[in-house]
Structure 1
Amino acid sequence: MPIVKPFMNSLRFSTTAGAGTGTGAAYNILATAFTTDAGAAATAFPASPAYYNLYINGQIQTGDTSATTTTAITIPDGDTLAAATPIVVEFVVN
């Protein structure tokens, strides 16, 4: 029986911290504030990713620093970041 590797793909979305709203634990950035790798406006995040990585200013973040839904990413205390700080979310889907 041959071994079949599962299909894996990554989808990356980018924006800046200034695109978010809220304060403290309620700070979030809507999916529609992001652009895709193709430079198009995003409409939603993947519904069932295998996992995702969050990069703030190019630094990967630990898993406890954010939560995602199809419509937004929540980054507690993200409102303390400078508005021009780059935010990249990479979803790995299968």
Structure 2
Amino acid sequence: MPIIKPFMTSLRFTSTMGAGTGTGATFAIAATEFSTDAGTAATAFPSTFAFYNLYINGVLQPGNTSTISTTTITIPDGDAENAGTPVLVEFVVN
């Protein structure tokens, strides 16, 4: 049985699809293109977290629609979206 840590919090990052680069399977948005909840520019995504949620235009996306690292989030075919479409990444950290 996994041990659940008693303290959990979330970190949210916002951007738009227009901040991404690449096409098709290589479309990605750099962490530095996101803003934090405090309204400051993000420098990196968390290196450890319990899980993350991706919202595109306010709709929660299935877990298999993206991959994430400390520097980028890759959203295959995200370039097909309107450049103004909002993107929110929420990390639950413990």
Tell me which interval the TM-score lies in, with the shorter structure as reference length: over 0.9
1:5: how far off? 5.8
Report % sequence identity.
Answer: 67
Q: Stretches of 4+ moved more than 4 A in 1?
A: none
Consecutive unaligned residues of structure 1, counting only runs of 5 or more, are none
RMSD: 1.1
**Structure 2 residue 20 is the aligned partner of structure 1 residue 39:** no
Counterparts of 1:44 and 1:5, CA distance in 2: 23
1:76 corresponding residue in structure 2: 76
**Structure 2 residue 61 is the aligned partner of structure 1 residue 66:** no
TM (norm. structure 1) is 0.94
2:54 partner SS: strand
Counterparts of 1:5 and 1:70, CA distance in 2: 22
1:90: how far off? 0.1
User: Equivalent residues in 2 for 1:1-94 (5 A)?
Assistant: 6-94=6-94
Counterparts of 1:27 and 1:60, CA distance in 2: 19
TM (norm. structure 2) is 0.94
Counterparts of 1:76 and 1:48, CA distance in 2: 23
Equivalences, count? 91
